[in-house]
Each structure stands twice: as structure tokens, then as C-alpha cells.
């Protein structure tokens, strides 16, 4: 039943979005650019100074044999979920901003990947359905497009006046990966896993082709809301994410705790159920197995001889007593991060009530239970501490941001912001515990941050409070070593520039891309 409070919030969101659409209407000649909301002339466009590239020493995660090269393959950059890119991002030298408006309303391009020629492959969410798009990395022009089925959460949002369903739905292709042959692999809202190639025809036009379509509905309940099925009586279990293991088997997880595999050679499907548990995050893979976090526990998985997922180890964590503002559900908001100088750690955050903790574990299947936990480090302010984004992992270092207070694109309107905070935590060389290296006051409400290992800069998407009610969004660079802000560059003003959980992605040409509510933004050095 829709409560008065929820109905009021939904109507407020509809009104805000409608007003935004009218306020940002632009002449047809400018339709491709994301419009700026009023106030952009009253805020700083650039602050700080150009940085000097200082590569950070360390060994990158092992290259996954079935993924595109590290840095190009998915939301978290590689199979380990490191959140690092091997090339330099913007240094702040006269940075230029361009954008692409994907739809009249909505159009956010979340996961950004790059094919072997540097073209962008991304999935953009609109109110009529998700769009798989091939974009030119410089102009952001659309080269090809493939429409995916509409998610049930969109229909529910409209029919039940509850738009929060959209903003807390991680299914339908938002998480996808690019494989070692430049093919997109995703799970759509019909509970099908698709493998999609792109190619250029004799006429010079690009097009997508579905090479494989694996139907999971024999194993996954699929009585979902649609325009022709507004009141389903059964269960709908959306597929959250897909990733390959080191043998090429495609793993998939669902919101209601199903963990399964597809054998690409035979099409054989296998699955188990984590009863009473939800999976709302993506997962990570390394040669030693698959790491998955539910809203109750962290798991190390392997596959049996027939491909059936097998639990190798399980570790519960403090899931708190409720869902915090800034979290999708009552559990960890992080994709597991496989890291460490010897690639033997896995890190997540918990959902402890007062202060969230960064948790580091030894991930071997043979690790004694008493020795699995390396450290438990509380972060950020008491009563205002949570994250729903993956950690950055490099060497024995982790970086975590605070998302407490962010829920959807209306949360920070009228100049509001979040408590914010970023921290770097290092595991001690002898593995005896962890230490906080630095803390920063940067307010990055909801982005998946990234580290350029080639220049030593961390990239966040920042919004500070504004007494004039201007909603100004910035790409912010922070020194990995010290935590000091190097520079920030205005990307735009207004709800259209809210990234709404989308990541920052560093392209091979040094451009920083940010998925925003109305499309995608690119920031690159101009000098």
C-alpha cells in the first residue's frame, strides 16, 4: 500500500522532473548537449591547480582471460573489482567538458567500457527501456543502438507512484561486462543472459548482433510487473549481474539470492539459492574463485564438475538493524574487492548501525575461521556512515567514500549536499591489521570513484552545499598519497548532472567519463 509520505515524495519527484524537463528545454540545434540549470555562471568553474603525474607503484590485478583488458571491461574496471585504470586521467590542465543528452528525461549511462579501438560501449537507462549504445569516444555521437526490455521497476514506479523503485533497482543490464572479443554480456529484465557483438557493415554503419541468448527462466521466477501484467500473483527475481570465471563459465546472481552459471559451450544452466538473502551488488572473480556478497554474508564460491556453484567459505558481517539513507538494502553496499600485494585479500564494508566498518579478509578456502578477518576499521562520522559503492584497491591500500544521505536525484536539490568523506586504509605489511592513512572532507554523494595508477590521482564526483540553492557538480581529483584535493572542474548544474550511482570511468585516451541522470559527461585536458 502506498503511504501518504511515499505518495507525496513520488509526486514531488514527478513534479521536479517535469519542471526540470521544461526548464532545460533547448533549441533543436543544441539538443545533444545536456542543458545547464540556472546558476552555472554564479559558481566556480575550476578550482585548484594542474597536477603532476606521479605513477603509483604496484602490480595490477591479473588479467582475466575472458574479459577485455584491465581498465576497459566493466563498472569496476577489471575482474578483481579494483576500481583502477592503467592510464592517466585528466591532470587539470585547462580541462574541457562535453556531454551527450541521451533522452528527453533520464538517459543515464552507467557502466562504460571500451572496445579494442577505444569506442565506448555503455548501457543507458531511459524511462522507456535500457539502451545498449556504441558511442564515439570524442564526440559522444551514437554509432549504434540496441533496445533492451523495460524493467518491471519502471512500470511499478509509474503505476504505484513509487519512483524509488527505479533508483534502487540494480538489474536489467546496469551491470554488464565486455569480454575478450569485444562482446557485451548482460542479463536483461526478461531473465535472459545475452552476448552481443558489434560490427561495421559494408555501408559504414555500425550495428549490434545478439550472438547468444540463454534463457534462465527455468531456474529463476519471472512473474514480473509489465504493462500487460500489472498485478502478477507469482514471484519476480531480477538478475543483478553477470561475470565470467577463469574457465569461461558465465556466473549470474539474482536479487533474491540465486547464484548460477551458464556453460557457453553447451548452454547448460546450474543454480543454487541462498535462502532469505538478497544480492544487490555485482561480484568479483579471480583465478582462485568467485567472491559474492549478500545482505547477510560474504562468500567464496567455486564450481563443481558440472558447473553447479559450490560455497567454499562463508563469512557473516554486521548487517545492522535497517537500511540507511544512502544504501540500497540492509547489507553491504560494496562489490567485493580482491586486492593485496600478494592478491590474497578480499574487502567489503558492513552495515553496522553507528559507523560502517571496512572489513578485510583472507580469502583462501583453507584459511582457519579464526584467522580469516584481517581488520575491521570504523570510518566516517557517528550516525552518518554508509557506502553503496565499491572500494578502490591497489597494492595493500583501500579507498572508501561516504554516501550517507543520498537516495535519488531529488535528494540534493536546492543546494543541498551530503555529509561526505573519503578515507584511505592500508593493510600492514605483516598482515597484523590495518591503519587509516588519511581522511578527506570531499563530498562525493554516490559515484563509483576511480584511481589512475598512471598519474596517482583519485577521481570523485563532488557536490558541495550552496547557499544560493545552485546544484553544481564537479569532477574532483585527489592525490592518492596524501588525500589532498588537486583540482575540481565544474561539469554542470542541476538534476540532469547528478550521477545517481553511476561510476567515473577513465578512458584509454585520458578522458574521464561520468554517467549522469540525463546522459554522459566527458572531461579531458585541453592543454
Residue 306 CA to residue 260 CA, distance in Å, equals 12
- Asked if 72 and 64 count as a contact pair (C-beta separation under 8 A), the reply is no
Residue 465's alpha-carbon distances to 37, 159, 397, 462, 502, in angstroms, are 16, 34, 30, 10, 21
- 257 by DSSP, 3-state: which? coil
Return d(Cα 253, Cα 241) in angstroms, integer: 6
Contact (CB, 8 A) for 347 and 359: yes
Closest CA to 129 of 188, 187, 210: 188
Collect all residues with Cβ–Cβ distance below 8 Å to 173 and sequence separation of at least 6. Answer: 123, 130, 132, 148, 186, 187, 188, 189
Q: Is 259:272 a contact under the CB 8 Å cutoff? A: yes
In degrees rounded to 5, what are phi and psi of residue 273? -125, 130
Phi first, then psi, for residue 115 (nearest 5°) are -75, -175
Contact 37, 24 (CB under 8 A): yes
User: What pLDDT was estimated at residue 156?
Assistant: 82
Q: How far apart are CA 133 and CA 478, in angstroms?
A: 31
Q: Where are the domains of the chain?
A: 4-80+106-524
pLDDT value for 19: 37
Cell 536479487: give the residue. 255
Distance from the Cα of residue 74 to its chain's centroid: 9
How far CA 420 is from CA of 223, 278, 461, in Å, comes to 39, 27, 11
Residue 150's pLDDT is 85
Dist CA 471 CA 331 (whole Å): 30
Which of 139, 90, 131, 89 has its CA nearest to residue 109? 131
Q: Which residues contact 392 (CB under 8 A, 6 or more apart)?
A: 82, 83, 84, 337, 398, 399, 400, 449, 450, 451, 458
> Given this model, what pLDDT does residue 13 score?
42
Q: Which residue has the cell 543541498?
A: 416
Which of these, 447, 238, 414, 425, lies nearest to 326 by C-alpha position? 447
Beta pairing class for 120-126 and 519-524: unpaired
DSSP per residue, 400-439: EE--TT--STTTT-TT------EEEEEE-TTSS-EEEEEE
- The CATH architecture of the domain made up of 4-80+106-524 is 7 Propeller (2.130)
Q: For residue 19, give the H/E element and its range.
A: helix 4-23
Backbone angles phi, psi at 111, to 5 degrees: -60, 130
Question: What's the pLDDT score for residue 315?
Answer: 97
pLDDT of residue 204: 96
| Burial classification of residue 135, based on how many CB atoms lie within 10 Å of its CB (0-12 exposed, 13-18 middle, 19 or more buried) | buried
Phi, psi of 29 (to 5 degrees): -65, -25
Instruction: Give the chain's length.
Output: 527
Q: Which residue has the cell 578485510?
A: 360
pLDDT at 510: 97
Whole-number pLDDT of residue 205: 97
Collect all residues with Cβ–Cβ distance below 8 Å to 432 and sequence separation of at least 6. none
The whole-number mean pLDDT for each consecutive block of 10 residues of the chain, a chain of 527 residues, reads 39 39 35 90 98 96 98 97 98 98 91 97 89 96 94 80 71 92 97 98 97 98 90 94 98 98 98 97 97 98 98 97 94 97 93 98 95 98 96 98 95 96 97 97 97 98 97 98 98 97 97 97 95
430 contacts: CB under 8 Å, gap ≥ 6: none
Q: Cα separation of 66 and 370, whole Å?
A: 34
DSSP label at residue 30: G
Q: In this predicted structure, what is the pLDDT of residue 28?
A: 31
SS3 content of the chain, % helix, strand, coil (to 5): 10, 40, 55
Rg (CA), the chain: 21
C-alpha cell at 355: 559507523
C-alpha torsion sign, points 195, 517, 519, 505: negative
Residue partners of 501: CB distance under 8 A and separation at least 6: 110, 167, 388, 389, 446, 447, 448
DSSP state of 464: -
**Chain mean pLDDT for the chain:** 92
The pTM of the full predicted model, rounded to 2 decimals, is: 0.93
Amino acid at each position: 500500500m502506498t503511504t501518504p509520505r511515499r505518495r507525496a515524495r513520488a509526486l514531488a519527484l514527478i513534479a521536479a522532473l517535469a519542471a526540470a524537463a521544461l526548464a532545460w528545454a533547448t533549441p533543436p540545434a543544441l539538443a545533444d548537449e545536456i542543458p545547464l540549470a540556472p546558476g552555472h555562471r554564479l559558481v566556480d568553474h575550476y578550482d585548484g591547480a594542474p597536477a603532476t603525474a606521479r605513477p603509483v607503484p604496484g602490480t595490477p590485478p591479473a588479467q582475466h582471460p575472458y574479459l577485455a583488458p584491465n581498465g576497459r571491461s566493466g563498472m569496476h574496471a577489471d575482474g578483481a573489482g579494483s576500481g583502477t585504470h592503467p592510464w592517466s586521467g585528466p591532470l587539470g590542465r585547462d580541462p574541457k567538458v562535453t556531454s551527450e543528452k541521451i533522452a528527453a528525461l533520464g538517459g543515464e549511462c552507467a557502466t562504460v567500457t571500451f572496445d579494442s579501438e577505444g569506442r565506448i560501449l555503455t548501457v543507458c537507462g531511459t524511462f522507456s527501456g535500457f539502451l545498449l549504445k556504441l558511442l564515439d569516444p570524442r564526440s559522444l555521437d551514437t554509432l549504434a543502438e540496441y533496445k533492451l526490455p523495460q524493467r518491471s521497476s519502471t512500470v511499478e514506479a509509474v503505476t504505484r507512484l513509487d519512483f524509488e523503485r527505479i533508483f534502487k533497482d540494480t538489474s536489467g543490464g546496469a551491470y554488464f561486462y565486455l569480454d575478450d572479443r569485444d562482446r557485451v554480456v548482460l542479463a536483461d529484465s526478461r531473465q535472459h543472459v545475452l552476448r552481443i557483438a558489434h560490427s561495421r557493415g559494408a555501408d559504414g554503419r555500425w550495428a549490434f548482433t545478439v550472438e547468444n541468448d540463454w534463457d534462465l527462466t527455468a531456474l529463476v521466477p519471472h512473474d514480473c510487473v509489465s504493462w500487460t501484467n500489472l498485478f502478477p500473483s507469482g514471484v519476480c527475481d531480477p538478475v543483478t549481474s553477470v561475470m565470467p570465471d577463469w574457465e569461461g563459465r558465465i556466473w549470474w546472481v539474482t536479487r533474491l539470492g540465486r547464484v548460477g552459471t551458464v556453460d557457453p559451450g553447451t548452454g547448460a544452466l546450474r543454480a543454487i539459492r541462498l535462502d532469505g538473502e538478497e544480492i544487490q551488488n555485482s561480484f568479483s572473480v579471480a583465478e582462485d574463485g568467485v567472491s559474492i556478497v549478500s545482505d547477510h554474508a560474504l562468500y567464496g564460491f567455486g564450481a563443481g564438475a558440472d558447473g553447479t556453484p559450490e560455497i567454499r567459505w562463508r563469512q557473516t558481517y554486521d548487517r545492522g538493524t535497517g537500511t540507511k539513507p544512502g544504501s540500497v538494502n540492509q547489507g553491504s553496499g560494496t562489490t567485493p574487492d580482491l586486492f593485496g600485494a600478494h592478491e590474497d585479500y578480499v574487502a567489503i564494508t558492513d552495515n553496522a548501525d553507528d559507523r560502517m566498518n571496512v572489513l578485510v579478509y583472507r580469502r583462501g578456502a583453507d584459511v582457519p575461521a579464526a584467522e580469516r578477518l584481517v581488520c575491521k576499521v570504523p570510518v566516517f562520522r557517528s550516525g552518518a556512515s554508509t557506502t553503496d559503492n565499491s572500494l578502490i584497491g591497489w597494492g595493500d591500500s583501500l579507498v572508501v567514500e561516504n554516501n550517507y544521505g543520498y537516495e535519488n536525484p531529488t535528494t540534493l536539490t536546492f543546494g543541498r549536499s551530503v555529509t561526505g568523506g573519503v578515507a584511505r586504509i592500508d593493510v600492514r605489511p605483516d598482515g597484523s591489521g590495518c591503519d587509516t592513512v588519511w581522511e578527506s572532507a570531499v563530498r562525493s554523494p554516490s559515484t563509483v570513484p576511480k584511481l589512475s595508477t598512471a598519474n596517482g590521482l583519485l577521481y570523485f564526483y563532488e557536490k558541495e552545499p550552496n547557499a544560493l540553492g545552485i546544484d553544481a557538480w564537479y569532477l574532483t581529483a585527489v592525490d592518492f598519497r596524501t588525500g589532498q584535493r588537486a583540482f575540481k572542474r565544474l561539469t554542470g548544474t542541476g538534476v540532469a548532472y547528478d550521477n545517481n550511482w553511476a561510476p567515473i570511468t577513465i578512458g584509454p585516451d585520458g578522458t574521464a567519463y561520468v554517467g549522469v541522470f540525463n546522459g554522459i559527461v566527458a572531461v579531458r585536458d585541453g592543454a
